[in-house]
Chain A
Amino acid sequence: MEPSHILPLLLGLAWLLPLASFTLIVLWGPRMGRGGRYAGYVATGAIALACLLSLTALGDWLVYHPVASAADAGEHGPAMLHSAPAAETVAPVSGDWYLLARFGSLRLSIGYYIDALTVAMFVMVTFIATCIHVYSYGYMHEELHEVTDPLARTADGQPVKRRGRFHRFYQFLSLFCFSMLGLVVAGNILMVFLFWELVGICSYFLIGFYIERRSASNAANKAFIVNRVGDFGMIVGLMAVWTGMGTFSFGDVKNEAGLVTQAGIFSQVRPVLHDHALAAPTVPDGMVKQAARGQIAEIVREAPSDAACTAQIAAKLPAWRTLGYGYWLLVIAGLGIFCGCVGKSAQFPLHVWLPDAMEGPTPVSALIHAATMVAAGVYLVGRFYPVFAPEVLLVIAYTGCITLFIAATIAITATDIKRVLAYSTVSQLGYMMLSLGAGGWVAGLFHLFTHAFFKALLFLGSGSVIHATGTNEMPRMGGLWKKMPWTAATMLVGCLAISGAGIPLVVGLSGYYSKDRMISQLQLLRIANPVHGWLFYVAAAGAAITTFYMFRLWYLTFVGEPRDTHVYEHAHESPKVMYVPLVVLAVMAAVSGGSLGKFSLPNLLEQARPVPAANDIGGGLLWPSLVIKAEHLSEDPEIEVPVTFITFALASAGFVLATMFYGVKSSDPEEARRQFSRIHQFLYHKWWFDELYQLAFVRPVMFVSRLTADLDRKGIDGLADSLARWTTAVSSADDWIDRIFVDGLVNGIARWSYGIGLWLRNLQTGNLRQYVMFIVVGTVALFVLVSLYWNFAFASP
């Protein structure tokens, strides 16, 4: 069937299956078997089915858009490379599933934007999620029963006892998968933002899974708050997009006849007129008009009629655009969206949350905080690529570069096995951003995929080690190779993959391909703009550091003498349900970079390449000389071959150094630590970032809030209290008046009438004859009175 019909159906189903699983577990989770164990089956079944649907979608895509032409291009000589973009870009399938509301030109809809990148992301996310769902069944086993958590203490110092949360774990995993897939399939930037937040809240729930531990709840809060900082920027970006373009939709909105009724974001910035491709993005009309408000007001004031007014504005638009009107608004839109990506992808300076997020269960760290969610920022940068002006790309590149260096250096000294991996993740995300910013669109996203596989593998491996030893600290491990061969072997594959191991120019693990592509692109950038050369040097040095800290981790964990015999004796290989996913992921980590016939990941991604990324990017207003070279030029052997050898040499150096220190122990790491104690301290304390933020943000906020709390307690509470006291006094006075005067009057009248009544009852003698006498005497008296006064009253007129 036509992809435009079947793809939205397949991917929509794959997207909604985890939601169904989430709903089921929310409603009946605790009743699904003993300890909620069937919740695991439900969630795993849903995600496995989603994975199958995604694979079907990929198959369908490949049938209709074979990647043949892309694969050919790579083999040809430089003459061909310089002439045209390597592969034909395939038009995306975009549309709306459901229109929520429309306000004027603004359409809020649940839509889809499906291209090769979307399909590939679906396959990657669902595949890794399936592996992790299976793995979690073993890892989270103890949550099936009542749990005694030694790391969380109650007020009297006892370990916290609580019910198992097995079903809750799977519930959030399902919600996460739903949100992540929604983010990937989203057809407009607003929907991306909504799922972006949903993903964030899942991350919050799962980091705080062991909520009784103070460190876990703090880490969850930290992750959430730091992400809010990024999201603030993202909202600014969204506002800029909306005011400037009047739409949130990525693709064009078409009516039933297939005619464009409203241009999407991408075709506004890269108009059809120029075949969608220009060195710098075109500033949309709306943004130009925003910037030229003054001139427009003048025209409106002087124009004789509305029609003339519109015509004059339209005539002046190109001139204004050349003058750079509205360009800054476009830059702000780009920077704002990127700001959100900085928060989610843990880029400098918002990288601090990710290492702390390791408080969550390890499968979560693997799925969310390494393989998929943190890659969402990278994905969005890739997706939003046409909108980014050259200046924004440069900012992205430098942010990535700084992040990659800082995180890599911190990873060298970390002793917590998961933290090493966390910093390694931050560093690799920095690589991706750097590559995207330097024009290496396919390279950056390719690394996203390969990284997802080997980082999920490494995290699951570390989870297996933690499961076996019961500790995160590498100094207490060592020599575990004999105890857990499967874990050790698969983690070795992961380490080799992340280091980019391979035989230069022949074959290698997945990291070899993706990392070489990225660094080649940086080399290309260095040649074109020597000013930005150190982006290349840092990235190349990063390759050496990456290898060093990864093998340090591996050696410390698996090789050498056991440093803690108790831990060593306790250790055992994990159950099959845990190491089978490891093997599967190890295979993927090894081969996902390679090609099968003409099919390979980069060639598939090539189909989704935004048109501008296929050409040179430049012509920004701020740095007109900046030229970001087209990516296909970096496949030129003149660039690629030396880069391959340089990175291979540097990675080997890192490996040799790690082996010297931790493998064969020919040098003593303690010695090095003493020699460079200053630097060691600096790195060990993570460049003092946490302390800096504590000083710069947390303390002032705490100070101000304590101040306002004091004001509240003393000023406002005092006022309210005195008001209350005053009211009490007034009412007691009022009460006194009421009691004495008002009650006195009423009681007096009552007492008086009672007295009269008592007196009058004496008349009621009960004696009949006396009554007759009264009547007679009364009658006579009446007559006497009437006869006496008759004259006065009536007689004399």
Chain B
Amino acid sequence: MELLSIPVGVAHYLVVGAVLFVCGVICMATKRNGLGVLMGIELVLNGANLNFVAFASPMLRAEGGNALGLDGQIIALFVIVLAAAEAAVALAIAMNYYNNFVTIDVDRADELKG
């Protein structure tokens, strides 16, 4: 229980990120609702974002560097943009899917079965 006793640091962030990631994966794997799956994806992406931001902490940085130190944050911003785009496409797919099957239950879709 070391985590509870030490001051909040990178490790805490990583734990939260891991929790978020696992929640997202479970959500993706268990939800039959297509929108639920999308939400799971959002959770996974945000878990990853948290990791990026955590690893961008100045405490993990070597001394004397003259970099700006915003790499992790910028990648996180990219991921957010990417997530927005992905959501737009995925929602469009969901709309089409609904048009075709009158449901958004992903288990009903096995047209790509080999």
Task: Tell yes or no: B10 within 8 A of A by CB.
Answer: no
Most chain B CB within a 10 A radius of its CB, from A761, A762, A764, A769: A769
| Contact (A764, B114) CB under 8 Å given A769-B106, A769-B107, A776-B25 | yes
Q: Indicate if the CB atoms of B32 and A767 lie closer than 8 Å.
A: no
Give the residue among B29, B31, B112 with the most A Cβ atoms within 10 A: B29
Known: A769-B106, A769-B107. Is A764-B29 also a contact (CB below 8 A)? no
Q: What is the bound-complex CA distance between A763 and B109, given in angstroms?
A: 15
Q: In the bound complex, how far is the Cα of B29 from the Cα of A776, in angstroms?
A: 9
| A753 and B25 alpha carbons, distance in the complex (Å) | 34
Q: In the complex, what's the smallest C-beta–C-beta distance from A374 to chain B, in angstroms?
A: 100
Give bound CA distance, A226 to B106, whole Å: 106
Q: Are A766 and B113 in contact (CB under 8 A)?
A: yes
Residues of B within 8 A of A766 (CB): 109-114
Are B114 and A772 in contact, CB atoms less than 8 angstroms apart? no
Docked Cα-Cα span, A328 to B24, in Å, equals: 124
B28 within 8 A of A: yes
Proximity bits, B48-80, A CB within 8 Å = 1, else 0 = 000000000000000000000000000000000
Check if B30 is an interface residue, CB within 8 A of chain A. yes
Alpha-carbon gap, A776 to B113, bound state (A): 20
Interface size on B, residues (CB 8 A): 15
Q: Are A768 and B109 in contact (CB under 8 A)?
A: yes
- Residues in B74-114 with C-beta less than 8 Å from chain A: 106-107, 109-114
Interface centre among B30, B106, B111 (most CB of A within 10 A): B106
Q: Are B110 and A773 in contact (CB under 8 A)?
A: no
Distance (whole angstroms) from the CB of B108 to the closest CB of chain A: 10
Question: Which chain A residue has the least Cβ–Cβ distance from B113?
Answer: A766
Q: Is A765 an interface residue (CB 8 A)?
A: yes
| B20, CB-defined interface residue at 8 Å | no
A768 close to B113 (CB less than 8 A): no
Interface string of B12-35 (1 = CB under 8 A from A): 000000000000010011111000
User: Which residues, 747 to 797 on A, are CB-close (under 8 Å) to B?
Assistant: 760-769, 772-773, 776
Q: Which residues of B contact A765 (CB under 8 A)?
A: 110, 113-114
Bound CA span A766–B113, Å: 4
Shortest distance in angstroms between A646's beta carbon and chain B's nearest beta carbon?
127
* Least distance between A756 CB and chain B CB atoms (Å): 13
**A396–B28 Cα gap in the complex (Å)?**
126
Contact status B37-A768, CB under 8 Å? yes
Residues of B within 8 A of A769 (CB): 28-32, 37, 106-107
Alpha-carbon gap, A766 to B114, bound state (A): 7
Measured CA separation A761–B28 after assembly (Å): 23
Q: What is the CA–CA distance of A327 and B31 in the complex, to the nearest angstrom? A: 127
Cβ distance A64 to chain B, nearest Cβ, rounded Å: 115
Residue of A nearest to B32 (CB): A769
Q: In the docked arrangement, what's the CA distance between A761 and B110, Å? A: 13
- The interface residues of chain A lying within 8 Å CB-to-CB of B114 are 760-766
Flag if A772 contacts B28 (CB, 8 Å).
Answer: yes
Q: Which residue of A lies closest to B41 (CB)?
A: A772
Complex: chain A residue closest to B106, CB-CB: A768
Chain B: which residue is nearest A765 at the CB level? B113
Closest to A763 in B: B114
**Nearest CB in chain B to that of A773: its residue:** B29
Do residues B25 and A767 form an inter-chain contact, with CB atoms below 8 A?
A: no
Assuming the contacts A769-B107, A772-B25, asked whether A764 and B30 have C-beta atoms less than 8 A apart, the reply is no
CB distance from A623 to the nearest CB of B (A): 116
Pair A764/B28 contact, Cβ less than 8 Å: no
A590–B104 Cα distance when bound, in Å, is 131
Residues of B within 8 A of A761 (CB): 114
Which residues of B sit under 8 angstroms from A768, Cβ to Cβ?
37, 106-107, 109
Q: With A769-B106, A772-B25, A776-B25 as given contacts, are A764 and B113 in contact (CB-CB < 8 Å)?
A: yes
| Bound-complex Cα distance A773 to B40 (A) | 13
A95 to B114, CA, bound (A): 100
| A762, B32: Cα distance in complex, Å | 22
B94 to chain A, nearest CB (A): 12
Cα of A760 to Cα of B114 in the assembled complex, Å: 8
Distance A762 CA – B110 CA, assembled complex (angstroms): 13
Chain A contacts of B31 at CB under 8 A?
769
Q: Which residues of A contact B111 (CB under 8 A)?
A: 766
Closest-CB distance, B100 to chain A (whole angstroms): 14
Q: Report the minimum CB–CB distance from B27 to chain A (whole Å).
A: 10
Contacts of A773 in B (CB 8 A): 29
A772 contact set on B, CB distance < 8 A? 25, 28-29, 37
> A762 vs B31: C-alpha distance in the bound complex, in angstroms?
23
Distance (Å) between the CB of A776 and the closest chain B CB?
Answer: 5
Instruction: Tell me which residues across on chain A come within 8 A of B29, comparing CB atoms.
Output: 769, 772-773, 776
Q: Give the residue name and chain of the A residue nearest to B28 (CB).
A: A772
B28 touches A767 (CB 8 A): no
Residues of A within 8 A of B30 (CB): 769
Chain B residues close to A by CB (< 8 Å) = 25, 28-32, 37, 106-107, 109-114
9 contacts between A and B (CB under 8 A): A762-B114, A766-B111, A766-B112, A766-B113, A767-B110, A768-B37, A769-B37, A772-B25, A772-B29
In addition to A764-B113, A767-B106, A769-B37, 13 A-B residue pairs with Cβ atoms within 8 Å of each other are: A762-B114, A763-B114, A764-B114, A765-B110, A766-B110, A766-B113, A767-B107, A767-B113, A768-B109, A769-B28, A769-B106, A769-B107, A772-B28
Sorted nearest first, the 10 A-B pairs with minimum C-beta distance are A764-B114, A766-B113, A766-B110, A761-B114, A768-B106, A766-B112, A772-B29, A772-B28, A776-B25, A773-B29
